[in-house]
Amino acid sequence: MIVAVTAGCEIGFWVLLLAGLALRYPARMPRTGAVVLACVPLVDVVLLAVTVADLRSGTTAGTRHGLAAAYIGFSVGYGHATIRWADARFRHRVMGGPPPAAAPKYGRERAAHEWRIFGRTLVAVAVSVVLLQGAVMLVGDASRTAALTAWQQRMGAVAGISLLIAASYTVFPKRPRADR
């Protein structure tokens, strides 16, 4: 059931996002659109509530519970940036607004961009690990929470990979090709 709720929350995220943008721009109801966009985090609250209820009912924690924590963490870490990204593209493609700025490709600007991504990833990982630890403490039985501990290690690996990517763009900055 947790996997279905996680998938439903992902669908709900995009439905609320598109509804908010549609209200904001084509319907010319910016306040109503802002209210709908402000409701986007409620999908995380629903997923958290369902996950906690499932664990409290005596279910052994599994991959599905770790996935739910990771989803919530990445929603917190990347949610606002995703909404801004979608807003700029919606405004451009649907409303004929200016094209959104592209991510930098080279040099210090690209390295700074990668460090911002690392910062978002760090927030996502931290939230996920805290939620996973909270679930471990909620269940209180190490034999029933081994999957959650494994997810904490995965989240650490995700942070490490993101750090390596950001550091690589700093140490080895990508340069434009020389004209031939």
Query: pLDDT per residue over 34-56, tens digit each?
Result: 999 999 999 999 999 999 999 99
Q: Give the pLDDT confidence of 55-68 residue by residue, as tens digits.
A: 999 999 999 999 99
Convert the chain into a string of H (helix), E (strand) and C (coil).
CHHHHHHHHHHHHHHHHHHHHHHHCCCCCHHHHHHHHHCCCHHHHHHHHHHHHHHHCCCCCCHHHHHHHHHHHHHHHHHHHHHHHHHHHHHHHCCCCCCCCCCCCCHHHHHHHHHHHHHHHHHHHHHHHHHHHHHHHHHCCHHHCHHHHHHHHHHHHHHHHHHHHHHHHHHCCCCCCCCC
The per-residue pLDDT for 31 is: 95
Would the pTM of this model clear 0.85, i.e. be above it?
yes
Domain ranges for the chain, please list them: 2-171
